[in-house]
Structure 1
């Protein structure tokens, strides 16, 4: 059976660059799977996500989602960026409402959409701030709204591009726990870009490690053998967590210190 999300022979080259950013990337993601993509800066992680989002056209190869080739942006894919990207003149409720009205107006009546917006505010624990505007809430709360807006679109795939990268450690941990809980509850197919090894191991079912760019490709894929639901405190000294973390660090360190391995 074909994979739910199939990235096949993906190559991305930009004008005036003699070497492609990504070369012949192959990755298959199953429905409900949480996959983290990790690698050094410049290896094309965000570029790959932008292709899946339909924001960037591939040079070669392509992406198929649920049997249909991706040829541009669509409501079946929702993106959470590092920057929350909220409209400052709208309230938290209205920011989510805008996405819901654009994607679900034909399938939901007004009252149903209202209840759906409130449901998603509740999912990200932001009901108390539904009437506040972005300048009135913290960075972590803004990201909660961004995640709630993405989920409210009922996408087939949730794409996250370093969504916690600009947050302090404590806020980051809280949001990681919340994303884990949402994934456990909804089974949402998720692809997340991250630089954080611990975050990748904690959240994902598989970690896709890209080689150094340019001309980056999938170097290794690590299956994270940790039961769900996961408790970060309980996992801190779990040998499986420690071993997975060490495997990713070893890959990243080897690729960083021995560029010749890229030709291997």
Structure 2
């Protein structure tokens, strides 16, 4: 059955008399604790698929089931980290994470327990030292760490990452990739990440889901990344299995690009 089951999902957007089929017949099963990357050219419906899993929009066809329950609305069992951190600028780092903790755990944890849980999740992303700062006082990479802490603090069954490092410089991006790998190794939570970065997908994921071009995009190939965990980016860079996985993804994306060029 699978932990997360995406069954024959299609999504069509309508605006007046205009209909745009973004996704068609998307079928995928994701196991508990698995890290899956979704990659494809712009316009292939990656973010739409993530929004469907998050419950932010409804499927036109098919359905999504998480641990036996249908996904048809947002819920704390699925937390999203967007490219834009979306922190509230008037709250401190602590306050932004505490807001999510209070929303999910009020009535289930005492005030003292919620305080400790907030600090615990800031520790996970190494941001306790900035607890009293506001978003405008910290770097972009730090803000993304806080966004990840806020999402983790909800104890979601699935953490959804929508190109969370896309706006960051290369060095900050590498540090956050390492942080996400450490968190995944420690918590063994289920993660689904959208990315345009082939190297990022290969380094982080257990499987890479490659989308065909839109409109009416679907899953073209699913590649298993046979790299043992824990992973080290320096070791992985020279690993033949890593190089083969990287070549396979690049080949797929290049072929899709060639098809677009041929159609123009």
TM-score by length of 1: 0.97
Pairwise mapping of residues 130-145 of structure 1 onto structure 2 (< 5 A)? 130-145=131-146
Give the RMSD, CA atoms, in angstroms: 1.3
Tell me how far apart the structure 2 counterparts of residues 34 and 261 of structure 1 sit (CA, whole Å): 34
Residue pair 1:64, 1:70 contacting (<8 A) in 2 also: yes
Pairwise mapping of residues 203-218 of structure 1 onto structure 2 (< 5 A)? 203-218=204-219
Q: Give, in angstroms, the shift of residue 261 of structure 1.
A: 10
Tell me how far apart the structure 2 counterparts of residues 71 and 18 of structure 1 sit (CA, whole Å): 22
Residue pair 1:38, 1:45 contacting (<8 A) in 2 also: yes
TM-score by length of 2: 0.97
Tell me how far apart the structure 2 counterparts of residues 190 and 110 of structure 1 sit (CA, whole Å): 29
Correspondence for 2:8: 9
Correspondence for 1:101: 102
Correspondence for 2:80: 79
Q: Give, in angstroms, the shift of residue 148 of structure 1.
A: 0.3
Pairwise mapping of residues 56-67 of structure 1 onto structure 2 (< 5 A)? 56-67=57-68
Q: Give, in angstroms, the shift of residue 130 of structure 1.
A: 0.3
Tell me how far apart the structure 2 counterparts of residues 93 and 70 of structure 1 sit (CA, whole Å): 30
Deviation track 1:73-131 (CA, whole Å, cap 9, x = no partner) reads 00100000000000000000000000000001121111111001000000000011000
Correspondence for 2:246: 245
Deviation track 1:10-29 (CA, whole Å, cap 9, x = no partner) reads 10001144441000000110
Residue pair 1:255, 1:261 contacting (<8 A) in 2 also: no
Q: Give, in angstroms, the shift of residue 62 of structure 1.
A: 1.2
Deviation track 1:176-199 (CA, whole Å, cap 9, x = no partner) reads 000000000000101100000000
Pairwise mapping of residues 90-239 of structure 1 onto structure 2 (< 5 A)? 90-239=91-240
* Structure 1 residue matching 2:14: 3-state secondary structure: coil
* Structure 2 residue matching 1:8: 3-state secondary structure: strand
Tell me how far apart the structure 2 counterparts of residues 87 and 34 of structure 1 sit (CA, whole Å): 28
Tell me how far apart the structure 2 counterparts of residues 56 and 211 of structure 1 sit (CA, whole Å): 21
Residue pair 1:81, 1:162 contacting (<8 A) in 2 also: yes
Tell me how far apart the structure 1 counterparts of residues 146 and 259 of structure 2 sit (CA, whole Å): 41
Tell me how far apart the structure 2 counterparts of residues 18 and 179 of structure 1 sit (CA, whole Å): 38
Moved more, 55-64 or 12-21: 12-21
Tell me how far apart the structure 2 counterparts of residues 97 and 21 of structure 1 sit (CA, whole Å): 36
Q: Give, in angstroms, the shift of residue 175 of structure 1.
A: 0.0
Tell me how far apart the structure 1 counterparts of residues 243 and 90 of structure 2 sit (CA, whole Å): 45
Tell me how far apart the structure 2 counterparts of residues 181 and 106 of structure 1 sit (CA, whole Å): 31
